[in-house]
A = this chain, B = another copy of it.
Amino acid sequence: MEPNKGLVSALFLFFLLHATMASPTPKPHIKPRSPPHHPCRHLTFYFHDIIFNGKNSKNATAAIVGSPPWGNRTILAGQSHFGNLVVFDDPITLDNNLHSAPVGRAQGFYIYDRKDIFTAWLGFSFVFNSTQHRGSINFAGADPLMNKTRDISVIGGTGDFFMTRGVATLETDAFEGEVYFRLRVDIKLYECW
């Protein structure tokens, strides 16, 4: 019954290979097949935004550069700041202390886009150039900032973060009036190269 043995071997091989093909491979560049998804990289940072208000030019890290017809560029406009475009170059720190040594810069813009509640659209990058991280992570998405946490997209990266994609969870860690706020950013990368 040798042929049978050959067939058995072949069938065994078939199932072995099939199992190999079907099983979820843990390599990070292969997309996981079912939730919950596990990030291939997980990073947490804080960044600090100090909006120029006409008096704080020395410390300000952000400025209003667009406003609705009913606003100006020194004071955030009424109606939930709708229409205010803010450019920023904010220090990134590892903890929640504004005065900690920055590990990079958060650079880009946000634009308040709703009249009845505070919400903004963000386009920005984390730019790193230290011994720890080199390269950039690019972000875009809606930030309904009255929610405790908000998810935006990691749309790409360069250098140490070459081609990455993921989701970043923003959380307002502190704010003081309309001039200072601090965001905690929990970056979960699901595509790592």
Contacts and interface: CB of A to CB of B under 8 A. Distances in A.
Interface of A: 2-3, 5-7, 9-10, 13-14, 16-18, 20-21, 27, 29-33, 35, 37, 52, 54, 63-69, 72-74, 82-85, 87-89, 105, 107-109, 111-115, 119, 121, 123-125, 127, 135-136, 138, 140-142, 144, 151-159, 162-163, 165-167, 190-191, 193
A111 to B, nearest CB: 6
How many copies, total? 3
Contact of A141 (B21, B30, B74, B158): B158
Top 3 nearest A-B pairs (CB, nearest first) are A6-B6, A153-B156, A151-B158
A1 to B, nearest CB: 9
